[in-house]
Structure 1
Amino acid sequence: MKSSIAALLGAIASTLAQNTPTTQTTISDIADRATTVEPYSPVSNVEGLAFNRLFQVWFENIDFENAAADDNLKWLASQGIALTNLYAVTHPSEPNYCAAAGGDTFGMDNDDFQRVPANVSTIVDLLDTKYIAWGEYQEHMPYPGFEGFNYSNQETYADDYVRKHNPLILYDSVTENSMRRRQIKNFTHFQQDLANEKLPQWAFFTPNMTNDAHDTNITFAAKWLRSWISPLLTNDYFMNDTLILITFDEDRTYRKTNRIFSILLGAAVPDYLRGTEDDTFYTHYSVIATVSANWGLPSLGRWDCGANLLEIVANKTGYVNFDVDTARLRLNQTYPGPLSNGDMSKFSPDWPNPVTDAECSAGHGILDIVKRTYAGTNPSYNYTSPFPYDSKSGYNVDVTANRKRP
């Protein structure tokens, strides 16, 4: 009897959504907010060089070889471009999602409840300079802008939506703005936006903990992905000038290189490139840099500044990417920072300063608010590098890079 009561209490506890490390929101509170918080779905039509929409769909913790061998991912790769040299930037999951939004890990080496201060800009600040509509779609997120640590499946009490897989919710510059919070929605809202033809031009999709392979495997996740995305690939509105990136947050085996299998799909992929491979060196930071180059946006002045551009955009701008010798590249750790708890990096109380006076790979300089916020400071790292390194801690200092040969 005692064990049954304990199990029931544990199940109830797992339904609670943690708003901060010390306080919780009840299921009743969540239900109330789900009926009162309205999603916000802005639209825009800003023309880009190579695509007019970029949608990212992230999966979890699969080694390159296992993903590349999956039959469903092979089929999807045949419809687009397989990126065979794209790297996650560290371990575990959360710092990679953080990097995808803000161009830095800030030393994060954990999946804890994290908040990045409001004076740190993100990709949405770049998009907002040209009023490019953006949004996130997080499967089973209970209501728009939910800031809790997790939201469990209400039937099985298994992990479902988790904060650590939501890039923008980590940033106070997003969550302190109620309109921005309402642009972070769930998959039901995606279906509504699709039906109402109100999709944004930039969107980040995270499936739940079952469908993203975290609590299952690549066979299950790739089968789910193919069934979910196949109808979208025949939807004229969804596909119109759209580039879709299918990727993973990190590999599973930490002693490996953290190379992750990725695919570009969509009508923005030229017909002659379908079924091909691109072996250019990329990281998660390359996606931010590519967005900036595609729409003529500035840089955050962090690791997006020097990151290689996806070739389909680099070829439009004339930018020559770097060949990076990955033999000594180690992206399984990270440099010191204020979000470290000492597991795979060292704690430092200092938030890193971005570069403020570089043109960057996108060619449009640094975001104005970044230049104003950090005026008179020196950058903490050489953010113009195509890969992250830190000379003080010896992180990736032996890695070399040279411009690609024509």
Structure 2
Amino acid sequence: MGLVAALLVIATMAAADTIANRERLGAISKAAEATTTPQNWTSNVRGTAFDRFYQIWLENADYSGAASDTNQQWLASQGITLTNFFAVGHTSEPNYCAAASGDNYGMNNDNFHQIPTNVSTIADLLNTKGISWAEYQQDLPYPGFQGNDYPNQQTHANDYVRKHNPLVLFNSISNNDTALRLIKNFTNFYDDLRNKQLPQWAFFTPNMTNDAHDTNITFGSQWLRDFVSELMNNTYFWDNTLLLLTFDESENYANNNRIFSILLGGAVPKKLAGTKDHTFYTHYSGIASVSANWGLPSLGRWDCGANIFQLVAEKAGYTNWNVDTTNLSLNQSLPGPLALGARSRYRSTWPVPSTNDSCSAGHGILQGVVDTYTGRAPTYNYTAPFPYDASHGLDVGVAYFRNGSTYLSGVNSTGLSTAERSSSISSSGSSSASASSSKSAAANVTVPAVNGFLAVVLWLACWVWCTYLLDV
């Protein structure tokens, strides 16, 4: 019992210290808020299929769970359900990073990362044509805040967290005062809406309660419906705007990483309301679709070969890949310098992007990327519609095809005939079935129940470690 008593004392001290630290943080943030002015930037560059592109992400839901939610169903009835949309890793932060820059650089964690300045982002693409952009992070204490989190100052519940803020991860943004002040909060959003100063590209992140992370899919979906419904009646916001409503990742890591996603907004033709699009997409498709819509270059990473939203592809004259997702998981980040953990696939070097492809959007590679990496071979086959790594056996043997040519990820780089394709897919399926059987066997291992007293001790120890020792 002495150990338990000691842990309880430490836990109490840790909780008190954590609250005190958060209150000090609140005071500091209030002072900074008074002196930090949000940056406003608006533009009017016409696009092929839309004039604004906004994303709103919720957290951690398997496809089936989200699809069965009544509020998600109502939102889907207003737009296009993307039935084959995949996240590109676990945990949360790798997906936010990927959606902003075309890669997650091996990230398999939610740590405080600062990505070097020579890694380009979607902001660099938009800047080439003067297309305005911003982020709106709910409960961000002031524009450009770079702290790891900012809790509710009354209840001390989680509110803003850095791991859900894609662009602040990049030094090219965080080291630029003007760009940094384009990362704003929801109060700033409503100011911009009222003043008709909205950007043409924006990323919206609800707080940890409203995004379903600390609540559930029912709560988060109700919040999302309320938020979007109000905006539907604002013609300035809605007209020719394309909204992507999606999730960062699936909840069950043992399943594939398919996530429920919806396109809606004034840019969606009324005849497509309530329809389904079965095209394969990933978080990288957001970048590729923006590039195709505004005639922008690619980052030369996994956005290069990513499929483009069909309503954009049709107007841009692009043919998307068909992907056989039977054996596709996309549950693991590929090797890179941001991987952590004893079992991680850490690689000290940063992945080299492509510098010599036309890419999905058809406008080549960003000049800054070419200048930085020209003469170096790309790390991966970035012309594929999904990420894979043959050297580690990640998502290899997956068929993708169009215009009569078929490829198997990590197997061939030239098109297969129909007969060869059938044979290869059959062999690939057998291998995947064996792997699935092994996973199922591992999943069925029974873990003995832990003694209740010991469980309390272990829980307290873990809480102290996570909350106190790691938060100093």
Pick the TM interval, shorter chain. over 0.9
Shift of 1:344: 6.4
Change beyond 3 A, Cα 1:6–1:107: closer
2:200 maps to 1:201 = yes
| 1:391 to partner: Cα distance | 1.7
Deviations 1:306-352 (A, max 9, x none): 00000000001111101111111121112110000036641110001
Q: Describe the shift of the 1:249–1:384 C-alpha distance in structure 2 as closer, same or farther (beyond 3 A).
A: same
Quick one: structure 1 residues 353 and 220, their matched pair in 2 at CA, closer, same or farther if it must change by over 3 Å?
A: same
Query: Is the 1:335–1:345 contact (alpha carbons within 8 Å) kept by the matching residues of 2?
Result: no
Matching of residues 364-379 of structure 1 within 5 Å:
364-379=363-378
User: Tell me, what secondary structure is at the counterpart of 2:244?
Assistant: strand
Instruction: Report the equivalent of 1:147.
Output: 146
Paired with 1:280 and 1:344, the residues of 2 have a C-alpha distance of 33
User: In the alignment, does 2:74 pair up with 1:75?
Assistant: yes
Whole-Å Cα distance in 2 between the matches of residues 123 and 34 of structure 1? 27
For 1:344 and 1:266, how far apart are their aligned partners in 2? 43
Correspondence 1:104-253 to 2 at 5 A: 104-253=103-252
TM-score, normalised with respect to structure 2:
0.82
Deviates more, 1:302-311 or 1:334-343: 334-343
Q: Distance in 2 between matches of 1:404 and 1:189?
A: 47
**Counterparts in 2 of 1:343 and 1:97: CA distance versus 1, 3 Å:** farther
Structure 1 residue identity aligned to 2:381:
N
Structure 2 residue 19 is the aligned partner of structure 1 residue 11 = yes
Alignment of 1:261-340 (within 5 A): 261-340=260-339
Q: 1:4, CA displacement in angstroms?
A: 5.7
Alpha-carbon separation, structure 1, partners of 2:57 and 2:175: 25
User: Which residue is 1:39 aligned to?
Assistant: 38
Larger RCO of the pair (alpha carbons < 8 Å, separation 6+): 1
**Runs of 4 or more off by more than 6 Å in structure 1?**
none
Partner Cα distance (1:158, 1:401) in 2: 45
Q: Distance in 2 between matches of 1:219 and 1:327?
A: 29
Provide the residue aligned with 1:23 in structure 2.
none
CA contact (8 A) 2:103 2:302 kept: yes
Q: What is the identity, as a one-letter code, of the residue corresponding to 2:170?
A: Y
Residues 4/337 of structure 1: CA separation in 2 closer, same or farther (3 Å cut): closer
Specify the SS of the correspondent of 1:114.
Answer: coil
Contact 2:22 2:153 (C-alpha < 8 Å) held by counterparts: no
In the TM superposition, what is the alpha-carbon distance from 1:159 to its structure 2 partner?
1.1
Taking the aligned partners of 2:261 and 2:333, their CA distance within structure 1 comes to 22
Give the structure 2 partner of residue 386 of structure 1. Answer: 385
CA distance in 2 between counterparts of 1:5 and 1:305 reads 51
Indicate conservation of the 8 Å contact 1:135/1:185, yes or no: yes
Contact 1:334 1:345 in 2 (8 A): no
Shift in Å at residue 227 of structure 1?
A: 1.2
1:287 aligned counterpart, secondary structure? helix
List runs of 5+ in structure 1 lacking aligned partners. Answer: 17-25
1:397 CA drift (Å): 1.5
1:106·1:351 contact (CA, 8 Å) conserved in 2? yes
Partner of 2:61: 62
State the distance in 1 between where 2:403 and 2:202 align: 30
Partner residue, 2:253 = 254
SS in 1 for 2:140: coil
Note the C-alpha offset of 1:12. 2.1
Q: Taking structure 1 as reference, are residues 280 and 394 closer, same or farther at Cα in structure 2, changes over 3 Å only?
A: same
Query: Is the 1:15–1:151 Cα contact (8 Å) retained in structure 2?
Result: no
| Root mean square deviation, CA, Å | 1.4
Is the Cα contact below 8 Å between 2:26 and 2:153 reproduced in 1? no
Q: Counterpart amino acid of 1:11? A: I
2-structure distance, mates of 1:179, 1:343:
39
Change beyond 3 A, Cα 1:344–1:267:
farther
Q: Alignment partner of 1:289: what SS?
A: helix
Q: Give, in angstroms, the shift of residue 393 of structure 1.
A: 1.6
Pairs aligned (count): 396
Letter paired with 1:347 = Y
Following the alignment from structure 1 to structure 2, what is the Cα–Cα distance between the partners of residues 335 and 239?
Answer: 37
Tell me the alpha carbon deviations over residues 177-229 of structure 1, each in whole angstroms, 9 at most, x when there is no partner.
10000000000000000000000000000000000000000100111111111
One-letter amino acid matched to 2:173: V
Q: Which moved more, 1:374-383 or 1:2-11?
A: 2-11
Contact (CA 8 Å) 1:90, 1:250: kept in 2 or not? yes
- Displacement of 1:14: 4.3
**CA positional deviation for 1:100:** 0.5
Q: Distance in 2 between matches of 1:143 and 1:404?
A: 50
Distance 1:231 1:344, change over 3 A: farther
User: How far apart, in 2, do the equivalents of 1:388 and 1:332 lie?
Assistant: 11
> Which amino acid letter does the alignment assign opposite residue 154 of structure 1?
Q
CA distance in 2, matches of 1:364, 1:126: 11
Distance 2:170 2:256 in 1: 28
**How far off its partner does 1:130 sit?**
0.3
Aligned partner of 1:19 in structure 2 is none
